[in-house]
C-alpha cells in the first residue's frame, strides 16, 4: 500500500485501545534510537537525562508509551548489543512492564518488532553474565503499530503512532533503507554526515510527512493525533489541526516528550542545567501547556 491515507487508516483500525481517565498519568516518548554505545549511538549523549526522567515517571505512577524507534535496529544487527550497552534503562522499563504500565509501538527503525515471534525470541529473556542463566526481561510484551488512548468518561480518543505511515519510503522500503544505513550511512554518521532519507535530517521530507498527517487528521474530523518520526516537537492550540509530535530523545543535550495528566496535555523537555553554585542537575522544563484535552474537539 503506497497511500499514506490507507496506511494510517489501517493503523487506526487495528490499533490497541487503552482506556484512561483523568486520574491516569501518561508520558509519551519516541525516537530514543538506543544503540550500542558506539560513536554512532545518538542516544548515548542523553542516556543519563532519559534514565533520570524515566525514574521520575516510574516513581510518580505514570504509564510509559513509546511511540516507535525506541531501539536502533538499522545501525545495529542485534538487540543484545543494545541491551548490554544500556542495561539500566531496560531494567527500569522492565519495572514498567511488570506493573502493566508499558505500552510499545514500533517505528521504521525497529519495524522488526511488528513480528510477534521476533519479539518473543529476542525480548522475553536476557543472559545474565553473573549467574550464567537466562532471566526474564519483557515476557509476553506486545508491540503495536498504533495505540488509541480512549477517555473513559468523555469517549475522546488520542491516536498514537510513530508517524512513518506518512513516509512511504521508510514504510514500504524500510528493509532497503536499513541496508543503506548499515552499509553506508552508519560510518558516514560517525564523521558527521547526515542520512538524507531521514525526515529528521531532511527538512523538505519533514514538511511532506507533516503535511500528509495533517491532511489525514482533517479528513477524520480533526482526530487528535500524536506521532514522532520527524523529531520535531509540535503542540497545536485548540481550534488548530490536532497534530502533536513528542519530538525525540536524541536532541542535542535534551529530550522532549508529551505528558498527559489530570485531563490535560503538555509538551515537556528534560535537560541539564547549572545551578548558582556550579552544580549540574537534570531538570524538567514545561514548553507548552497544560491544555485541557477536551478543548481539542472534533468537528
Average pLDDT over residues 49-65: 98
Reported confidence tier of residue 172, pLDDT bands at 50, 70, 90: low
Q: Are 41 and 80 in contact (CB under 8 A)?
A: no
Nearest Cα neighbor of 33 from 64, 4, 76, 65 is: 76
Q: In the numeric block, which cell numbers belong to residue 78? A: 542485534
In the chain, % of residues over pLDDT 90: 74
**DSSP string of 78-106, one letter each residue:** -HHHHHHHTHHHHHHHHHHHHTT-EEEE-
Mean pLDDT of the chain: 90
pLDDT at position 201 over 90:
no
pLDDT at position 150 over 80:
yes
Nearest Cα neighbor of 109 from 21, 51, 27, 171 is: 171
Counted domains in the chain: 1
Question: Residue 15: CA atoms inside 13 Å, Cβ hemisphere, count?
Answer: 25
The whole-number pLDDT of residue 130 equals: 83
pLDDT at position 274 over 80:
yes
- What is the extent of the structural domain holding 232? 4-295
The whole-number pLDDT of residue 192 equals: 55
Residue 235's SS3 state is: coil
Q: What span, in angstroms and rounded, lies between the C-alpha atoms of 186 and 165?
A: 24
Q: What span, in angstroms and rounded, lies between the C-alpha atoms of 19 and 152?
A: 6
pLDDT at position 160 over 50:
yes
Phi-psi region of 97 (alpha: psi -120 to 50; beta: other; left: phi over 0): alpha
Strands 243-245 and 254-261: unpaired
Which range scores top for mean pLDDT: 92-101, 207-216, 275-284?
Answer: 92-101
The whole-number pLDDT of residue 76 equals: 84
The whole-number pLDDT of residue 284 equals: 98
Reported confidence tier of residue 177, pLDDT bands at 50, 70, 90: low
CATH number at residue 233: 3.60.21.10
Average pLDDT over residues 264-268: 98
Reported confidence tier of residue 1, pLDDT bands at 50, 70, 90: very low
Nearest Cα neighbor of 203 from 232, 178, 180 is: 232
Q: In the numeric block, which cell numbers belong to residue 291? A: 491544555
Read off the pLDDT of residues 207-218 as tens digits, 9 standing for 90 and up.
Answer: 888 999 999 999
Average pLDDT over residues 167-185: 59
Q: Are 240 and 260 in contact (CB under 8 A)?
A: no
Residue 149's SS3 state is: strand
Residue 193's SS3 state is: coil
Q: What span, in angstroms and rounded, lies between the C-alpha atoms of 257 and 14?
A: 25
Amino acid at each position: 500500500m503506497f497511500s499514506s491515507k490507507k496506511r494510517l487508516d489501517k493503523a487506526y483500525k487495528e490499533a490497541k485501545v487503552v482506556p484512561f481517565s483523568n486520574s491516569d498519568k501518561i508520558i509519551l516518548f519516541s525516537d530514543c534510537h538506543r544503540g550500542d554505545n558506539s560513536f554512532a549511538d545518538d542516544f548515548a549523549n542523553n542516556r543519563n537525562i532519559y534514565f533520570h526522567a524515566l525514574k521520575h515517571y516510574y516513581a510518580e505512577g505514570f504509564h510509559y508509551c513509546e511511540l516507535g524507534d525506541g531501539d536502533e535496529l538499522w545501525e545495529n544487527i542485534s538487540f543484545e548489543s543494545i541491551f548490554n550497552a544500556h542495561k539500566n534503562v531496560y531494567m527500569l522499563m522492565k519495572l514498567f512492564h511488570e506493573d502493566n504500565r508499558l505500552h510499545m509501538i514500533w517505528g521504521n527503525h525497529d519495524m522488526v518488532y511488528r513480528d510477534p515471534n521476533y519479539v518473543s525470541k529476542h525480548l522475553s529473556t536476557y543472559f545474565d553474565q553473573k549467574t550464567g542463566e537466562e532471566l526474564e526481561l519483557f515476557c509476553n510484551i506486545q508491540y503495536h503499530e498504533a495505540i488509541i488512548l480512549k477517555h473513559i468518561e468523555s469517549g475522546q480518543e488520542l491516536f498514537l503512532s510513530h508517524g512513518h505511515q506518512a513516509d512511504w519510503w521508510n514504510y514500504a522500503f524500510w528493509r532497503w533503507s536499513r541496508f543503506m544505513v548499515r552499509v553506508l550511512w552508519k560510518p558516514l554518521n560517525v564523521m558527521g554526515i547526515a542520512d538524507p532519507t531521514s525526515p529528521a535530517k531532511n527538512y523538505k521530507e519533514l514538511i511532506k510527512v507533516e503535511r500528509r498527517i495533517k491532511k489525514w487528521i482533517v479528513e477524520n474530523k480533526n482526530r487528535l493525533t500524536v506521532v514522532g518520526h520527524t523529531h520535531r516537537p509540535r503542540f497545536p492550540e485548540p481550534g488548530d489541526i490536532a497534530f502533536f509530535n513528542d519530538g525525540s530523545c536524541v536532541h542535542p543535550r535534551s529530550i522532549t516528550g508529551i505528558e498527559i495528566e489530570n485531563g490535560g496535555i503538555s509538551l515537556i523537555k528534560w535537560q541539564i542545567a547549572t545551578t548558582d553554585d556550579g552544580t549540574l542537575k537534570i531538570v524538567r522544563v514545561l514548553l507548552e501547556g497544560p491544555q485541557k484535552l477536551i478543548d481539542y474537539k472534533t468537528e
